[in-house]
Structure 1
Amino acid sequence: MRVAQQQTSDSRAGPRGLPPAEVLARRRRRRHAVDSLVKWVIRAGGGAVVVALGLIFVYLFSEVLPIMRGSSIDDPRQYDPPGAGGAASETLMLERYGDIGTRFGNDGRVAFWRLADGSVLDTVTVGPNGGDARVTAFASGEPRTRTHVYGFADGSARIVEDAYELTFPGDERVLIPGLKRPFGDTAITVDPEGRALERIAVQRGSGGASGAVVAAVTEDQRLVVARVRTKRSFLGGETEAETTSFDAGRLDHPVSQLMVSTNLSDLIAATEDGRLLYYDIDPPGETALVDDATIKEGEVSITRTSFLNGSQSWIVGGSDGSVSQWTLTRDVDNTFRLRHMRDFDGHDAPITAIVADHGRRGFATADVDGVLQLHYATSSRTTLREDVADSAITAMAISPVDDQLMLETEAGKVMLYDLWFEHPDLSFSALWTKVLYEGRQEPEYVWQASSGSNTFEPKMSMVPLTIGTLKAALFAMLFATPIAIAGAIYTAYFMSGRMRQAVKPTIELMEALPTVILGFLAGLWLAPFVEANIPMVFMLLVGLPLGFLLAALAWRQLPETLRNRVPDGWEAAMLIPVVALTGWVAATLSPWMELWFFGGDMRQWFTNIGITYDQRNALVVGIAMGFAVIPTIFSIAEDAVFTVPRHLTQGSLALGASRWQTVTRVVLLTASPGIFSAVMIGFGRAVGETMIVLMATGNSPVVNFNIFEGMRTMSANIAVELPETAVGSTHYRILFFAALVLFLFTFVVNTISEIVRQRLRERYSNL
């Protein structure tokens, strides 16, 4: 019986005592299922990474996409000019809520009407103090001041302001329109001689300039300038205007339009023969012609001009349809001169109307043929061109929030459009080329996205951020790459196993140190230390490699019996005294070197020879970020060198090559794909680093590679400005554009590095 059972058991068992065939088959099926599951999990993980990267790109691109969109006007509504009575419009105005429109007629009547149904809410007549003096001139100040002036045949003028009282009866918004007289109810005397004012300009002061200035050209072609100030009694009461008028002399050229800047110091006159005249009117009693310029060669007259927001530059429209921007810049004698800034896409007919944006450098132009164009000054961009009328457009208005555009035609129709005029200040040229900004002498790369001034011109060039990103990464890699790769080669190939077990984990543990700590130490301790010991720092950077070489030469001169007492692979421990001695020598000699060669102050010496030195600079960032990048490069490169097959190194040594020859001609070639990957991953880490560059650079968006100046990187800029910007604004979207550029840059660099790594791997895989 036992013999039969044994035979049966032996028949079920596998050969040589292995488990039965059914068990083996079951195990094979289980392994195959596990392998298949793991394979699909890995594939799914890889696919999820690709999908995640794709979604990141899609999200960033969706936030940037509105930048590329042009402007548009929709939903046209048409009105008969309210309160016209046969009079033409001088200008149109819109309030921010889009409920009420205002029309200033050339007969002195100001009409307010409801945009929803065209019904007139109120009509106010503006006239002189008494008598029947007719209206002879009209002008508006900068749009955001909402200031206007009527000039009369008796030499007087009235300054008015369209205003809207906001109330909420029954929790419903109600606007009550009206005219304010900021300088009293009495008309001011512009020309004491009582001559008719044929051309006029007005401007309210800003930025410390008080009151207002009214400039006018009389019927006998004399220029008069009046400065108006208000005064109020100590106990309150009515506002009383105090006017001082000056006769600036006869004009040699017929003037078509006058403009006064908001600093109340500059007067720009446009002549009928195509010239711009610049007068200094501060003080008005010493008004003098400073400069004049011709807008274009040939017989081109100036048909319309308008200040842009801030009144630092203005737009000139010509009889040939040309549109150009002009400004005032200082010359070598510190005198303001007229300067042509840029041209825009022109019209095919003479310009008849120009209106500026209330808060930006955008503006609209129109011509005799009824063609409307929208432009933006900083970006030199024309975002819209549309034929909207069959006759000349004589007046236009843009709402303060840029969501409505109103125009009036020569045929006596008022049209209102819904306006989309977002992000016109961005273009390829504004982002990546030099731009001439208002107040600047030459075109520059500038990043200055915000300011406390309402008239500020945003400057959003990506070049300073790109240069800053590359600058920080470059100096960090220059510091980290030689140290990390040399340390990896020595640790993996020359160092003893016991010492390697202590050194490698210690260096890799550095990677766990938060970068905010490194940035904190770099900004508060390292930067002042480097500034106070600049010679010592450079002596260490140069002295340590020289000290190692001298120590190696000295080691070779020692008796062989003495060298053999040091265990193989522990030679690096002998360099610890060398490092300490070199540091002591550098610290001791630093003051003497500074005294002998740099006059006792190396930083001042840099300044004297024209080199800017900032305390938080690229040198500090290179050292601090280098310590953050070293563990990444070291760990990957050390693994690549350590995993070089032993038969390659042993074969090289057996053929008579030295250990150093084996490293340079065998090990490095075989490990080159891994070393290259380590460098590129470290570069990617340096490009994307935020906290160190944020805390240790001064965050200055400069465009240079000076190691003693700071920088601003894309990542640090996003971290600083994104929490403070308005969602959906141009500034908000340009920060997402910077993130998209950074994403694409790292993606392209990593893709190229992977291609190079694969080719290196294929080339040296047969060793």
Structure 2
Amino acid sequence: MKNTAPTSPVVPAARSLHLERLSGWRKAKDSLANLVISAGGMGVLMAILLIFFYLFYEIMPLFKSAHIQPQSSYELSAVDSSDSLFLAMEEQAEVALMLNRAGQAQFFNAATGASVHQAQLPLTAAVTSWALNSEQQPLQALGMANGQVLLAQPKYRISYPDDQRVITPSIEYPFGEQPLVIADAPLTKVAVRDTEEQLLIVAVAKGKLTGRLFNKEEDFLSEELTLEEQPFTIPEVDIVPQWLLLGPDQRWLYVVSQDGAYRVINIRDEAVAASGRLLERGQLTQVRFLLGGISLLAADNRGEISQWFMVREDGKLPRLEKIRAFKASDSAIEQLVVEHRRKGFITINQQQQLDVFYTTSGRQLLSEPVIGAAISDIAVAPRANRVLSRDTNGQFSYWQLENEHPEVSWSVLWQKVWYESYQEPDYIWQSSASNNDFEPKYSFTPLAFGTLKAAFYAMLLATPLAIGGAIYTAYFMTPAVRRKVKPLIELMEALPTVILGFLAGLWLAPFFERNLPGVFAIFMLFPLGILLFGYLWSQLPSRIRLAVPDGWHAILLIPVVIAITWACIASSGLLELWFFHGDMRAWLTHDLGISFDQRNAMVVGVAMGFAVVPTIFSITEDAVFSVPKSLSYGSLALGATPWQTLVGVVIPTASPGIFSALMIGMGRAVGETMIVLMATGNTPIMDANIFEGMRTLAANIAVEIGETEVDSSHFRVLFLAAFVLFMFTFVVNTIAEIVRQRLRKKYGSL
């Protein structure tokens, strides 16, 4: 018997070892791929979180509370401060000025009280009244017992010897050291307003209003300024003047009595323009101009401060309107000082409580009790970062005030606000102007409206075209044509939006304006023309219709589309002549009252719709094409027509993808910047008119971020706009994902 040893399984063992190594390598690659994908996903999430926190970091200072803290305290011994007229600080809040009734001007270090400079004003009689031109131009008028007025103004010259800043103060007399004669009796009240062309002084003498108006003439060679009196009269008033205030344009003279009665005199017409009462009961304690000289601030003995300004309505006489009121306590307001560059003010009440307010935002920013004797004078630095006060004991206190961003509040951002010189409350975005008296307007409402308006018209055009084209391409079109059409449409997405915006603004907008009737004819005749062509095609003999293979019928529409477009544009002039008297734009404006702007929402809708179509088309086409063919074949086998199969099976199954396409397309439209920026008038208005432009949140950020000062309120408000846009996109995408998951769960069993 032959003894045969069993064969050694060398080959199977080697193969098993090889397969084991391949399996291990495959597992390693799978683990590496999972790690890379997970890291990429976490990186995306971290990037989004970093964007969120960075935006949050930039906007948090907007909502930081105001804060004030004392820095130093001292007494002045050089001059008598018991009867001061004026207390102020210069730009750097380093040098302060106190002027008393004896005409002594004392410049001193605002933080330490060290004397810097003293000056004696050339008074010709005792001072009986005093007035300030404005905080920005501190020309002071000192009315005297002999009926004369001395005009003086502090000046601060800055030099840098040895690289050290030195502020040299002085008193200047822009109209000479010789006082101007206003009346022949003591001036109990006085007001002054100086402009580039005229000087106006109004005073009360013997209980009556009097004044002098001077035209300013400057010698070309010597630059010497001379005054030439211009005759004018002031009408009598039936109240006892306690406060006189002259508007910056020298038109309005506000005369206010102690009990709140007022008369507004039109200097140009020399007549009383408005009359009434600033309060029904109680007594006024302070009346001041807010920054710009448009609004009056009236403080009373009940602790209320109200803001008033002249309101002009078409066909009606101007009136002094109460706009808003502030109240911190029931104690009488004793001191009121306004900020030099913002619409804010500071008050001290009878209980020695310091309050900081801002008018536009309607906010009380700070309420702080003041320890010590009663405050008799208070001054705020031009930058509103320092406060200087003097109490009844002659003690000066120097405070540091932190109040960087008082302009922002919920009402300013989203509600109607009654701004100065407007007829009524409104939503306004106007972040800058040509002068420092400007009242910033930071309403997000017109920007949000413009964002939704642009997205609406873009989606109105893009949605039916993109979804309809995607469904036909994925479900009906032959694969040979689909392989050419789909990449071509997706290639449209690669076009830079700045090119689309450039073409829309410089070519499409003028084209639409010239051929407006033809453009509307295209919108109306396109569906009718295609339906008519379909009907005529169905009436052709079968041998002709069957000669075109299934899935190629869309090619036949190309000449139809071209023909309809050419016919509409070619007949645009005739349509305009027949139906719109030769000018459709004028017909819209004059006959229908619809304003027309060349760069409008219709142009944006077409241009942005062209940019959004590829996004919606690509995602929708993939969703429809990915529906299992077995579902379609099963429906057809059960007797359903292709159209019934599409509506009842394919579209419901693909609905999560279609919905995602719409949401992504809407996100693209909401965040689009360059097209809106270049194809509209970029005006932040709230008008649903398709012929008017708009400004979106994204375009507003792009326009203004390069012009704003870093860390300013405007700068941070733009970051807040970006945060609003970010949160809007986040919320919309979250809702879209929830809806998509529900649609997938509902139709996933088909």
TM-score (norm 2): 0.96
Which letter does structure 1 place at the counterpart of 2:197?
S
Please tell me whether residue 558 in structure 1 is matched to residue 505 in structure 2.
no
The corresponding residue for 1:138 is: 130
What are the residue-to-residue correspondences of 1:376-415 with 2, within 5 Å? Answer: 376-415=358-397
C-alpha distance 258-4 of structure 1, shift in aligned 2 (>3 A): farther
The corresponding residue for 2:12 is: 13
Secondary structure at the aligned position of 1:526 is classed as helix
1:229-250 Cα shifts (integer Å, max 9, x gaps) = 4445454275444456766365
1:692-750 Cα shifts (integer Å, max 9, x gaps) = 10110110111022111000011111111101111011111111010000000001101
Please tell me whether residue 62 in structure 1 is matched to residue 90 in structure 2.
no
Deviation at 1:340, TM superposition (A): 1.0
Question: For the Cα contact (< 8 Å) 2:81–2:100, is it kept in 1?
Answer: no
Partners of 1:577 and 1:241 lie apart in 2 by: 80
Aligned counterpart in structure 1 of residue 156 of structure 2, from 153, 164, 174: 164
Aligned counterpart in structure 1 of residue 245 of structure 2, from 234, 247, 259: 259
The corresponding residue for 1:693 is: 676
The corresponding residue for 2:337 is: 355
Partners of 1:744 and 1:670 lie apart in 2 by: 30
Please tell me whether residue 90 in structure 1 is matched to residue 85 in structure 2.
yes
Aligned counterpart in structure 2 of residue 343 of structure 1, from 304, 322, 325: 325
- Decide which moves more: 142-151 or 585-594: 585-594
Please tell me whether residue 416 in structure 1 is matched to residue 398 in structure 2.
yes
Deviation at 1:580, TM superposition (A): 1.9
Question: For the Cα contact (< 8 Å) 1:136–1:151, is it kept in 2?
Answer: yes
TM-score (norm 1): 0.94
Question: For the Cα contact (< 8 Å) 1:640–1:671, is it kept in 2?
Answer: yes
Secondary structure at the aligned position of 2:249 is classed as coil
Partners of 2:77 and 2:438 lie apart in 1 by: 36
C-alpha distance 25-411 of structure 1, shift in aligned 2 (>3 A): same
Secondary structure at the aligned position of 1:248 is classed as coil
The corresponding residue for 1:216 is: 203
C-alpha distance 252-4 of structure 1, shift in aligned 2 (>3 A): farther
Partners of 1:392 and 1:592 lie apart in 2 by: 82
Secondary structure at the aligned position of 2:200 is classed as strand
Partners of 2:261 and 2:374 lie apart in 1 by: 24
Partners of 1:643 and 1:388 lie apart in 2 by: 74
Question: For the Cα contact (< 8 Å) 2:683–2:694, is it kept in 1?
Answer: yes
Give the gaps of 5 or more residues in structure 1: none
Which letter does structure 2 place at the counterpart of 1:159?
L
Aligned counterpart in structure 2 of residue 459 of structure 1, from 426, 441, 452: 441
Partners of 1:634 and 1:552 lie apart in 2 by: 23
Please tell me whether residue 155 in structure 1 is matched to residue 137 in structure 2.
no
Question: For the Cα contact (< 8 Å) 1:352–1:392, is it kept in 2?
Answer: no
Aligned counterpart in structure 1 of residue 48 of structure 2, from 53, 58, 62: 53
Deviation at 1:382, TM superposition (A): 1.4
Question: For the Cα contact (< 8 Å) 1:253–1:272, is it kept in 2?
Answer: no
User: How many residues matched?
Assistant: 747
Aligned counterpart in structure 1 of residue 522 of structure 2, from 540, 550, 564: 540
Question: For the Cα contact (< 8 Å) 1:136–1:153, is it kept in 2?
Answer: yes
Question: For the Cα contact (< 8 Å) 2:71–2:111, is it kept in 1?
Answer: no
Which letter does structure 1 place at the counterpart of 2:82?
A
Deviation at 1:12, TM superposition (A): 4.1
1:544-563 Cα shifts (integer Å, max 9, x gaps) = 11111111111221222221
C-alpha distance 166-7 of structure 1, shift in aligned 2 (>3 A): same
C-alpha distance 554-230 of structure 1, shift in aligned 2 (>3 A): closer
Partners of 1:110 and 1:749 lie apart in 2 by: 64
Aligned counterpart in structure 2 of residue 199 of structure 1, from 189, 193, 199: 189
Question: For the Cα contact (< 8 Å) 1:188–1:243, is it kept in 2?
Answer: no
The corresponding residue for 1:269 is: 255
C-alpha distance 87-75 of structure 1, shift in aligned 2 (>3 A): closer
Cα root mean square deviation, aligned: 1.9
C-alpha distance 6-513 of structure 1, shift in aligned 2 (>3 A): farther
Question: For the Cα contact (< 8 Å) 2:355–2:367, is it kept in 1?
Answer: yes
What are the residue-to-residue correspondences of 1:590-605 with 2, within 5 Å? Answer: 590-605=572-587
Partners of 1:340 and 1:245 lie apart in 2 by: 33
Which letter does structure 2 place at the counterpart of 1:498?
A
C-alpha distance 259-683 of structure 1, shift in aligned 2 (>3 A): same
Partners of 1:135 and 1:612 lie apart in 2 by: 59
Question: For the Cα contact (< 8 Å) 1:480–1:630, is it kept in 2?
Answer: yes
C-alpha distance 229-126 of structure 1, shift in aligned 2 (>3 A): farther
Question: For the Cα contact (< 8 Å) 1:324–1:340, is it kept in 2?
Answer: yes
Which letter does structure 1 place at the counterpart of 2:396?
V
Give the gaps of 5 or more residues in structure 2: none
The corresponding residue for 1:722 is: 705
Percent identical residues? 45
Question: For the Cα contact (< 8 Å) 1:393–1:410, is it kept in 2?
Answer: yes
1:491-548 Cα shifts (integer Å, max 9, x gaps) = 0000000000110000000011111111111111110111111111111112111111
C-alpha distance 110-382 of structure 1, shift in aligned 2 (>3 A): same
The corresponding residue for 1:248 is: 234
Secondary structure at the aligned position of 1:723 is classed as coil
Deviation at 1:26, TM superposition (A): 2.0
Question: For the Cα contact (< 8 Å) 2:72–2:112, is it kept in 1?
Answer: no
Partners of 2:459 and 2:640 lie apart in 1 by: 32
C-alpha distance 593-231 of structure 1, shift in aligned 2 (>3 A): closer
Please tell me whether residue 704 in structure 1 is matched to residue 684 in structure 2.
no
